[in-house]
Chains A and B, each alone.
Chain A
């Protein structure tokens, strides 16, 4: 397609919305992997599980966002269980947890994906809401309301987590666990309980992220594979564990993907996140907004 200024503006506009959405779906990983160093490859799969959960709850007439919020406590508990299991099986035993810990989460991701296929089939699923399907006309541009909703929720989520991590006692303890675990232990805090709590929050947030995922577009069980690239790209680009960095990195990915989508076509778009990820890993693994 020929280059035009209008198209570029549209791509930028869409990219910003998409970017905030990507930041929101990555923020759980930013906590679990960025702060806690848990190799949570299953994060996108848990998120897709959240999308299907939203689908089921919303089919009883609830708004998808409300459905996502309702699911958060359930996922919080799920996260605590997963971390507990991971801790008992790997972290506690210490050495050589690396290879097997990774394989463990990879296996969990596959189990969730196939479980979803067995229950729901491979068809795409969508939800209904007043803001899905219509769009806001802004001059000559049309912005789908669903993107605006995701944008809003993404901003609220990011700022809420940033505040939580910097203002509350537990939030600061979570950051402290990432910086210096033995020191935290000396202060009389149990790092395992803090990590467990933080992983619970990360997983709980994934439920809401899953709700946004199914608001933004149709969801299928294998969608998590694509989001391995997007979420890890954002978290690594952000510099591990930086919340505002996550927003910035999300914007970079969203805008790049939207520009590629506009000028090169949809078939190239999936490679953007993975390409960016590979470049960042190769050149600056500590990320752009590193802690």
Chain B
């Protein structure tokens, strides 16, 4: 109840806001913030709980986005189908990346995931159907009844996805899966020797994380009315998804949420008030500051309180 009541309240509030008369720009910015909440939460399932650093968030995100575009162009599929398919393709890619964890750890795993981004990007650049390197203009469908614009609807959809992602991460954390992943993070050999099914757990984490990232990418083409490989597979998604949990705290599901809300909100404000280059600098600087000075992130400051309220 402690989790679900606020969750329902948040979704209802978002629905209320979406049909209100608030300035359109709010939805434009909030959509990006919520996307990062999903990405950071997804990243944390593998990176925070299991300790496998995934630099390849952009690959999953981009695969989700391109899946959505292909379905939209080919069948004119509705948004819900696009998101489901994006999640499925993300899960598939997650399974493949999960198989890599069989042999690779630490920096080797991280570098391998970077490789996945560039390979996916090259594939899309050379695929004419989705516009190749120049990209593809997309005609958004009409907004549905209660919503004034398509962006407002996307905002609500993303809110629901963010709440769902956090609920999933919270389930993973509190269930036997989370306990197993934490054991892997502390010592994979010890976990394996104690009978923890390490490979199965890592695969579960990779698939869940990949599915959420793919789902987060699916609405992006509709949001931009455009898709193009360089920005879709941009490393900015990878660093954002990694920085948010590091800033918020990686051990608790709330960490990536706090980190993403804080980081991306600052970024959005900086983009508007200063420049879009500085906004990437903000991530880099905050990331370095937090990993050096506050290893447990913002939640580290509230450790005692969190432990008392136990999840």
Contact = CB atoms under 8 A, between A and B. Distances in A.
A11 to B, nearest CB: 19
15 contacts: A39-B110, A85-B292, A99-B53, A100-B291, A103-B53, A108-B284, A111-B288, A115-B281, A225-B235, A229-B118, A268-B122, A274-B114, A274-B116, A274-B119, A275-B115
A117 interface: yes
B125 interface: yes
Given A115-B281, A118-B277, A236 B108 contact: yes
Contacts, number: 125
A114 B284 contact: yes
Interface size class of A (residues with CB under 8 A): 35 or more
Nearest to B118: A274
B280 A270 contact: no
A103 B291 contact: yes
A102 B106 contact: yes
B51 A98 contact: yes
B261 interface: no
Given A106-B287, A267-B125, 9 more contacts: A103-B243, A106-B55, A107-B291, A108-B284, A109-B284, A110-B283, A110-B284, A228-B114, A274-B122
Contacts of B287: 103-104, 106-107, 110
For the complex, would chain B's binding face be called helix, strand, loop or mixed by DSSP majority? Answer: helix
B47 interface: yes
Contact of B281 (A96, A114, A270): A114
Given A98-B51, A111-B288, A270-B122, A41 B115 contact: no
A41 to B, nearest CB: 7
A163 to B, nearest CB: 28
Contacts of A232: 111
Interface of A: 33, 39, 41, 85, 89, 96, 98-104, 106-111, 113-115, 117-118, 225-226, 228-229, 232, 236, 267-268, 270-271, 274-275, 277-278, 281-282, 285
B239 A278 contact: no
B16 interface: no
Contacts of A39: 106-107, 110
A191 B247 CA distance: 32
For the complex, would chain A's binding face be called helix, strand, loop or mixed by DSSP majority? Answer: helix
A232 B109 CA distance: 12
Interface residues of B, number: 42
A102 B110 contact: yes
B122 A271 contact: yes
A27 B116 CA distance: 24
B197 interface: no
B292 A89 contact: yes
Contacts of A274: 114-116, 118-119, 122
Nearest to A284: B103
A55 B21 CA distance: 52
Contact of B239 (A110, A226, A236, A267): A110
Nearest to A37: B107
B295 interface: yes
Most chain B CB inside 10 Å of its own CB: which residue of A85, A89, A281: A281
